Structure 1
Amino acid sequence: MHPADLKNTSRAVRFDQERLQIEDIADIAAGRARATLSQAPEFRATITRGAEFLDRLLREDGVIYGVTTGYGDSCTVTIPPDLVAELPHHLYTYHGCGLGAYFDAEQTRAIMAARLASLCKGYSGVSVELLEQIVRLLDKDLLPRIPSEGSVGASGDLTPLSYLAAVLCGEREVLRDGVEVPAAQALQDAGITPLRLRPKEGLAIMNGTAVMTALACLAYQRAEYLTRLCTRITAMASFALDGNAHHFDATLFSVKPHPGQQQVAAWLRTDLQCEQTQRNGKRLQDRYSLRCAPHVIGVLADALPWLRDYIENELNSANDNPIIDGEGERVLHGGHFYGGHIAFAMDSMKNAVANLADLMDRQMALLVDSRYNNGLPSNLSGMQGPRAAISHGLKALQISVSAWTAEALKQTMPASVFSRSTECHNQDKVSMGTIAARDCLRVLELTEQVASALLIAVMQGSLLRQRVNPEVAPQASLQAMINALSNDVPMIEEDRRLEPDLRVLLARIRTHAWKLYE
């Protein structure tokens, strides 16, 4: 994204002490919104008060963890006064040991915005200048190159956030217009003066849950969309398989009052002719991947409200250590850097999302098997005539779906139970929240791949159902979806390579191209 695009973005997200939503972070990450720092005098006075309180404590020889002492297990080490100013530089320097793939541009913007949100609560003892520096980087789209691996989720996301701290000071590398450049050069070109961190500012930037929280914000939006998309796919699968729409009857679902499950059933009723008389020869009860779809998708639908609460509460928290109460003039030592709520949310979300992949995998198995698809061609091949003998339809696609599903299911082992004692047993119980969030994003990626394949299958199956049973017509919402998919993916008759079609549909999924159940 070019910086000019950010300046022309219509929506501004104001950072102060007011509550932010997941959508604020996601919109900044995607370039749909820009970050602005509140100009309100009372907000800026609150931020300044905390920084000035710390300055006064230093002048009075106060003992402040991470300011006049070493970090973690080294908190018993007293820092000589003439070295206090160098301590923040050492903190981000020795934490520059991340590995693995770098976070992409969208994820990096989200991380920067999430850290800014926490520091703006006014309990971190940082200066207004530090907050403005983060906004400058976002405004110019100068994105720290942050390795994704190396955080145990307490004391916060120390190693990945060290890369943000370093870039604020003109060190390490940034991504600018998709190209990696030295941070010092990028800041100079943008007219930005590197920071010299104040005594607690290195700790304030790094000792928090911004990385896992940012990833959780992005994961939430993808999971929310998948609940709707998987429901639409189920409706199309039911139509293609000549399923029994009475399984989604309103009275039936009124007796099991999970609101998310009821909502999924209601969406299915809008897509299917639930009131129609059952045709002779139709199965009385469909297999579970159709009949129980609201019960599977509904678990995620019912989890979304509390997942939002967990994520947004963490987003709107001051989560470093120590907490600086400038108003009450106290330094409060605690453990708000611990990412347990995000860890549990992400472990839970990836479980529910992987179940969607498994549901769609089972629907795919029914669709391609002529023993179970109620009269459709084997492997949903659309070829007719002599060349039908050499046409294999979606045979290989079903194999790929099984592979992606298996990998998604394998990722559901909860990361939060794998705490490791680290840092001389000071960090002896840690959250693993960032690993959980990364796992969740991988499960979402794989499930979206499954969904892209199922979109091809249910479109193909729906078209073939109308060929086999011309008297059967889909509801308007399903017909509109079939038409939209057909614009991207022509009906498969002669065998062809499907990877380009899958990638087109993946892009549609990840941009939420289809408005589902408005």
Structure 2
Amino acid sequence: MAEHDLKPATVTVGGRRLAIEDIVAIATARRRVTLCGDPSWRARIQRGADLLRERLASGATVYGVTTGYGDACVVDVPMELVEALPLQLTRYHGCGMGAYLSDEETLAVIAARLTSLAYGVSGVRPVLLERLADLINHRVLPRIPSEGSVGASGDLTPLSYVAAALVGEREVSFDGALCDARDAWTTLGQAPLSLAPKEGLALMNGTAVMTGLACLAFARAEHLTRLACRLTALATVALDGRAAHFDPFIFDAKPHAGQSEAAAFIRADLAGRPDTPGHRLQDRYSIRCAPHVIGVARDALSWIRRDVENELNSANDNPLIDPDSGDVYHGGNFYGGHIAFAMDALKTAVANLADLMDRQFALIVDDKFSNGLPRNLSGASRERAPINHGFKAVQISSSAWTAEALKLTMPASVFSRSTEAHNQDKVSMGTIAARDCLRVLTLTEQVAAAHTLATVQAVRLRLALNPATRIPAPLRTFIDSVSEASPFVDEDRPLEADLRALLARISGRALMKGGRAHD
């Protein structure tokens, strides 16, 4: 039996509100999904599909069912072609380009689409939801190109690859290899799905790609804020700085919740450290004002969670069908404006974390500002010091990653383009914003990996200078954890492998213990 068939933990979809952590667990911890077992929920889903059939039988006009799509909504589709229309939609949108989404990203996308359709107003059959669950549980993962969505009318082109996988077309990743989707279904003992009227549109006309990516981005950003707090505490020790900068009196006097929370994290990591004025009465801004920088991101995460989870738990296709009254509503819930703005904001807040960490890094490697630490944090002996350069090159690379992250903060949401014969004449660009945010997160995690290695080296050098230096328990545990994978740098050595190993722990939210990451 394949490994993915052995996971016991499940996330229930349908009849309940999902959290970001549920999507992240499905995507990163490979949690299985199960559909709601309440018969009334399943009956409601079926009722929507039955009502759509009834409207078709009565000769009613329904967008995307008896009409063409988009600007072609004025084109009537003959009844004998209505059943063929959904498959046509999936096929002509098979024009994505760019890098393929990772397995984790693909799982998050499918989970987001399943959650939206389980809301119960999309007019799809229960079997469609079951097959989406099969994609997750059996890890039949469509290869989804990342580029080609303008974020309204939803993520049409990338989601066409999910629809295509269900009908047995295009390539999927299955059991560790690429194969035709039809072959994967054959292996599972099932026939590809035949889409009913509107089901192609329901699968594709939504915000699942940007929303799934936003869930992953949120979790990584939250972890980074906690790591930035810890690295600030470490840098304070390394620089022989002042814990008094994080006293609660200061933050009670300016009561931004995220700022106070960040200060509390730093304060906890410095607990027990004596606060005698050291080399300076006031540490430089990148240390003293760190809670004010990190706090912006912490506060942003609160409303970003609200907006992402609202989008996740919404019906965001068109048209919508009231399964109780049978009324059909034509609207624009596929517009991804809230996700677009949230991701534009988050990438800016995260890039500021990169800048903060890079500035702290610059202080500790520079012997003019590091309060007695060796130049470039070199651990070489006095005799070998002239030819050793420690973390000089790592800091240069960190500066490059920071610059690239800052460059990418240009908001995507303001770059709406009129497309599709001016039917889609105002679009969200939400998926581009989400992709940008993920790239900024990767760059910032690279900065964090570099800063982590450097601050751990710096604290160990501080201890060598002054063995009486007080290292609070949380920081000592953290130092030991990092040092196990990356030993003290005495003689220069390539650090790429150390950085990559640490980056994997950071991007997987495994470096900080006690955070909100769900494994």
Q: Which TM class, normalised by the smaller chain length? A: over 0.9
Which contiguous aligned blocks of 4+ residues in structure 1 show a shift greater than 4 angstroms?
none
Aligned equivalent of 2:219: 221
- 1:344 aligned residue: 341
Q: Equivalent residue for 1:130?
A: 128
User: 1:487-502 counterparts in 2 under 5 A?
Assistant: 487-502=484-499
Among residues 361, 372, 377, which one is paired with 2:374 in the alignment?
A: 377
Return the TM-score normalized by structure 1: 0.98
The CA RMSD measured in Å over matched residues stands at 1.2
Residue of structure 2 in register with 1:432 after alignment: 429
| Shift in Å, 1:139 | 1.6
Provide structure 2 residue ranges, at least 5 long, that are not aligned to the other structure. Answer: none
SS in 1 for 2:172: strand
Q: What displacement does 1:514 show? A: 3.4
Give the direction of change, closer, same or farther, for the CA distance of 1:277–1:294 in structure 2 (3 Å limit): closer
Residue 368 of structure 1 aligns to which amino acid in structure 2?
A: V
Whether the aligned pair in 2 keeps the contact of 1:70 and 1:78 (CA below 8 Å) is: yes
What's 1:179 paired with?
177
User: Which residues of 2 match residues 140-151 of structure 1 at below 5 A?
Assistant: 140-151=138-149
Superimposed CA distance per residue, residues 413-449 of structure 1 (whole angstroms, 9 cap, x where no aligned partner): 0000000000000000000000000000000000000
Higher mean displacement: 310-319 or 385-394 = 385-394
Match among 315, 319, 325 for residue 318 of structure 1: 315
Say which is worse superposed, 127-136 or 147-156, in terms of deviation: 127-136
Confirm or deny that 1:472 pairs with 2:465. Answer: no
Structure 1 residue 421 and structure 2 residue 418: aligned? yes
Q: Which residue of 2 aligns with 1:106?
A: 104
Partner of 1:88: 86
Is the counterpart of residue 7 in structure 1 residue 30 in structure 2?
no
Q: Which amino acid aligns with 2:460?
A: L
Aligned to 1:272: 270
The structure 1 residue matched to 2:390, chosen from 369, 382, 393, is 393
Describe the shift of the 1:186–1:7 C-alpha distance in structure 2 as closer, same or farther (beyond 3 A).
closer
Question: Which residue of 38, 49, 57 maps to 2:55?
Answer: 57
How many equivalent pairs are there? 515
Q: What CA distance in whole angstroms lies between the structure 2 residues aligned with 1:128 and 1:114? A: 16
Alignment partner of 1:424: what SS? coil
Superposed counterparts of 1:501-512, under 5 Å = 501-512=498-509
- 1:26-47 CA deviation, whole Å, 9 max, x = no partner? 1111134111112321111101
Secondary structure of the equivalent of 1:379?
A: helix
Once residues 97 and 511 of structure 2 are traced to their aligned partners in structure 1, the CA distance between those partners, rounded to angstroms, is 37
Task: Show CA shifts across 1:291-326 (max 9, x none).
Answer: 100000000111111111100000000000000112
Equivalence for 2:479:
482
Distance in 2 (CA, whole Å) between partners of 1:490 and 1:456 is 9
2:161 matched residue in structure 1: 163
1:407 paired with 2:404, answer yes
Question: How far did residue 259 of structure 1 move?
Answer: 1.0
Paired AA for residue 281 in structure 2: L
| Cα deviations by residue, 1:391-424 (Å, 9 ceiling, x for unpaired) | 0000100000001000100110000000000000
Aligned to 2:447: 450
Q: Distance in 2 between matches of 1:506 and 1:230?
A: 14
Mean CA deviation greater in 167-176 or 28-37: 28-37
Instruction: Select between 9-18 and 249-258 the one with higher mean Cα deviation.
Output: 9-18
User: Which of 356, 359, 379 lines up with 2:356 in the alignment?
Assistant: 359
Deviations 1:343-394 (A, max 9, x none): 0110010000000000001011101100000000000000012111100000
SS of residue matched to 2:179: strand
Distance in 2 between residues matched to 1:136 and 1:247, nearest whole Å: 53
Q: CA deviation at 1:517?
A: 5.5
The verdict on how the C-alpha distance between 1:82 and 1:277 changes in structure 2, with shifts beyond 3 A counting, is closer
1:332 aligns to 2:334 (yes or no):
no
1:48 aligned to 2:49?
A: no
User: Match of 1:181, SS?
Assistant: strand
Q: How much does 1:470 deviate?
A: 2.0
Identity of aligned residues (%): 60
Q: String of CA shifts for 1:197-241, please: whole Å, max 9, x gaps.
A: 111000000000000000000001000100100100111011101
Q: CA deviation at 1:12?
A: 1.1
Between the aligned partners of 2:107 and 2:85, the Cα distance in structure 1 is: 27
Give the Cα separation in 2 of the matches to 1:252 and 1:282.
21
* Contact map agreement 1:9 1:31 (CA 8 A) in 2: no
Which residue does 1:297 correspond to in 2?
294
Structure 1 partner of 2:23: 25
In structure 2, C-alpha distance between the alignment counterparts of 1:332 and 1:207, rounded to whole Å:
14
1:171 aligns to what SS in structure 2?
A: coil
Name the SS of the counterpart of 1:415 in structure 2.
coil
The amino acid that maps onto 1:310 is D
Amino acid paired to 2:156: L
Task: Letter of the 2:178 partner, please give it.
Answer: E
Q: Deviations over 1:139-180 (max 9, x none)?
A: 211100110000000000000000111110000110113321
**How far apart, CA to CA, are the structure 2 residues paired with 1:314 and 1:273?**
40
Partner of 2:229, secondary structure, is helix
- Give the Cα separation in 2 of the matches to 1:288 and 1:145: 46
Contact 2:168–2:181 (Cα < 8 Å) also in 1: yes
Which AA in structure 2 matches 1:202? G
Alpha-carbon distance in 2 for matches of 1:487, 1:31? 25
What is the distance in 2 between the residues matched to 1:516 and 1:198?
A: 47
Counterpart Cα distance in 2 of 1:138 and 1:285: 53
Q: CA deviation at 1:274?
A: 7.2
Distance 1:262 1:63 in 2: 56
Give TM-score scaled by structure 2 length: 0.97
Contact (CA 8 Å) 1:6, 1:31: kept in 2 or not?
no
Contact 1:248 1:274 in 2 (8 A): no
* Structure 1: stretches of 5+ with no match in the other structure: none
Q: CA deviation at 1:275?
A: 6.8
Amino acid at match of 2:491: E
Matched residue SS, 1:386: coil
Q: Which amino acid aligns with 1:509?
A: I
Letter in 2 for 1:139: N
